Amino acid sequence: MIIVLKADMEIDAPEVERLVELAESYPGVRTELHQIQGATRSLSELYLLGSTGVIPTEPFEEFSCVERVVRITEKFRSIGRHGGGLEAVGFEYNGIHIAQDTFHVFPGLCAVDNRENLEAMFRLLREHGIQTARAGAYKPRTSPYDFQGLGAECLPFVFESAGKNDIRIISMEVTHESHVDEILEALRIAGNPTGVMIQIGTRNAQNFELLKSVGQQTELPVLFKRGMGITLEESLNACEYVASGGNRRIVFCLRGMKTNLGDPHRNFVDFAHVPVVKRLTRLPVCIDPSHSVGSRAVAPDGLLDVFHVTAQGVIAGANMVLVDFHPKPGEALCDGPQALLVEELARFLEDAKIVREAYEARLRRVAISSTG
């Protein structure tokens, strides 16, 4: 059971103490108090854990500090909406607000290969007014003989160049918990010129020890990528490992599913699940069209498949787009064939904007029909 306290309620208020006492007076029940810092207000929630099935909600609803009492209906209790009883709160990180109603594009290198290409990439993003990017330093590759990423060695120049180009958040995958420490240390040494969103790749979606460790740190938000060969339910439970560690600043990313039925795309595009994840969880939802499609194939109408699948996710309300972009894809050491070219980036951003506006127009129609 989750008891939502009224907005901006002080958690050490005597009434909250009495609420906790009442909850813990039921046999086999313990409590956890969580504060979620949303973009505009903080939200406090009291979790009742243990045998709560038989506890009535009424005695709790009578407290004036209580806004709502919600019964847990999903196993993924911290990220779940539980039948709509809990609102999506989102978060603010390094000046960027990410929530179920915001929209940001994160273009960039799948893997950092050299300083020159990285700087060219950030400069181009800056020219387009983009403050959010991707840049991979630690790459989980299918073959041990393929380029594994430059690792900690590239972090100083990545962060310095990001700062110079006013990049506020870089999405960066980690494959081991020590990478988080290396990133935090490099950010600190550089004077925190930018921010990092820790990316958990699809191959590590059920690496529970890694999920626990990124969940136990709360400095950096987490982009959790859906497992490519497991059910959505299993991915949501895996994502809960991050939230249950204490870190609630999480974005859930769809990136396609591994099945030959998706051929000729690299993965079967699953962006129809954008509204599903928004309904089931409180998390903002990201789409990754590059790792879904895996090529720069062009449809007969002249638009790249990557543009088309992005449109499918954005028209359905995606909050973030992670897309591979490389100033010289021929020099890329990982996933060059799927990276957008310089001349494609501007068109991609424009296309995504058109679709986002169409989504917002659709929302206005819903608002009119529900009030009128």
Q: 30 - beta bridge partners?
A: 49
**By CB under 6 A, is residue 45 in contact with ligand PEP?**
no
Question: Of 55, 110, 186, 254, which lies in the binding site for ligand PEP, with binding defined by CB under 6 A?
Answer: 110
SS3 of 356, please?
helix
Beta pairing, strands 96-98 & 320-324: unpaired
Least CB distance to Mn ion at residue 202 (A)? 10
Query: Taking the mean position of all CA atoms in its chain, how far away is CA 180?
Result: 16
**By CB under 6 A, is residue 255 in contact with ligand PEP?**
yes
Q: Are 326 and 336 in contact (CB under 8 A)?
A: yes
**By CB under 6 A, is residue 288 in contact with ligand PEP?**
yes
Least CB distance to ligand PEP at residue 155 (A)? 16
Closer by beta carbon to ligand PEP, 199 or else 281: 199
**By CB under 6 A, is residue 201 in contact with ligand PEP?**
yes
107: nearest Cα among 317, 306, 304: 306
Number of residues that bind ligand PEP (CB under 6 A): 10
Backbone φ and ψ for 130, nearest 5 degrees, come out as -95, 130
Least CB distance to ligand PEP at residue 270 (A)? 11
Backbone φ and ψ for 49, nearest 5 degrees, come out as -115, 150
From the list ligand PEP, Mn ion, none, partner contacted by residue 225 (C-beta under 5 to 8 A by kind): ligand PEP
Spatial separation of the C-alpha atoms in residues 151 and 153, rounded to whole Å: 5
Question: Of 202, 247, 310, 319, which lies in the binding site for ligand PEP, with binding defined by CB under 6 A?
Answer: 202
Which parts of 218-237 interact with ligand PEP (CB under 6 A)?
225
**By CB under 6 A, is residue 289 in contact with ligand PEP?**
no
Least CB distance to ligand PEP at residue 190 (A)? 22
Closer by beta carbon to Mn ion, 113 or else 335: 335
84: nearest Cα among 312, 248, 278: 278
From the list Mn ion, ligand PEP, none, partner contacted by residue 173 (C-beta under 5 to 8 A by kind): ligand PEP
Spatial separation of the C-alpha atoms in residues 298 and 285, rounded to whole Å: 26
**By CB under 6 A, is residue 154 in contact with ligand PEP?**
no
SS3 per-residue string spanning 13-36: CHHHHHHHHHHHCCCCEEEEEEEE
Residues that bind ligand PEP (CB under 6 A): 110, 136, 173, 201-203, 225, 255, 288, 291
